[in-house]
């Protein structure tokens, strides 16, 4: 059994976002993780967890692409790396889940439906005509 199999055991793929929000909220209440919730604290937690997710891939390669205004302009070689050069997919899954748990907690704390927020943001982006969404690969 692969380490990554541990993370996908007993998953109900029919769980809705509404049900997931209920599960996250109940879990956080049961373990009293919500006792210090404020918008500020939850936003900080999202940022911390996103940083931990980034750390799972940071300096994992010897060479990185360098971009300017969305175009590759070169490569950067790491002189010395002290990190493992392979990704631990299970750790990435866990950190991604942490980010999502805090995002769901924040939307619940703010009394906003996260599905609606995401759909509204997608519609906003479409209407705004953002360059990065419309550009074609050349």
pLDDT in tens, 101-134: 999 999 999 999 999 999 999 998 888 775 655 5
Q: Do the domain assignments include residue 76?
A: no
pLDDT of residue 3: 52
Mark out the alpha helices in the chain (DSSP H runs).
Answer: 17-30, 39-55, 89-109, 114-128, 131-134
| pLDDT of 138 strictly over 50 | no
Asked if residue 44 is part of any domain, the answer here is yes
d(CA 4, CA 88): 9
pLDDT above 80 for 31: yes
Whether 119 is covered by a domain: the verdict is yes
Range list of H helices, 56-130: 89-109, 114-128
pTM of the model: 0.71
10 in a structural domain = no
Tokens of 50: 């996103």
Q: Which residues contact 110 (CB under 8 A, 6 or more apart)?
A: 39
* pLDDT over threshold 80, residue 23: yes
Exposure string of 101-114, with b = 16+ CB inside 10 Å and e = fewer, is bbbbbbbbbeeeeb
CATH number at residue 45: 1.10.287.1080
- 47 confidence band (pLDDT: 50, 70, 90): very high
Instruction: Tally the domains of the chain.
Output: 1
- Residue closest to 114 by CA, chosen among 26, 11, 22, 50: 22
65 strand-pairing partners = 75
Say which residue, 22 or 137, is predicted with more confidence: 22
pLDDT for residue 51: 94
Inside any domain, residue 127: yes
pLDDT at 8: 55
Which residues span the domain enclosing 97? 17-59+86-134
* Residue 127: per-residue pLDDT: 82
Question: For the ranges 43-57, 75-89, 107-121, which has the lowest average pLDDT?
Answer: 75-89
> Does some domain include residue 110?
yes
CA torsion, points 108, 112, 114, 116, in degrees to nearest 10? 160
């Amino acid at each position: 059994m692969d380490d990554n199999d541990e993370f996908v055991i007993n998953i109900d793929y029919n769980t809705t976002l509404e049900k997931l929000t209920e599960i996250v909220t109940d879990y956080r209440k049961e373990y009293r993780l919500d006792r210090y919730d404020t918008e500020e604290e939850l936003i900080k937690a999202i940022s911390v967890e996103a940083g931990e997710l980034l750390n799972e891939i940071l300096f994992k390669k010897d060479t990185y692409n360098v971009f300017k205004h969305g175009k590759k302009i070169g490569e950067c070689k790491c002189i010395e790396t002290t990190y493992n050069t392979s990704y631990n997919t299970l750790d990435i899954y866990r950190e991604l889940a942490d980010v999502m748990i805090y995002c769901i907690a924040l939307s619940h704390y703010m009394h906003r439906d996260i599905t609606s927020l995401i759909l509204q943001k997608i519609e906003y982006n479409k209407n705004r005509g953002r360059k990065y969404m419309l550009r074609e690969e050349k």
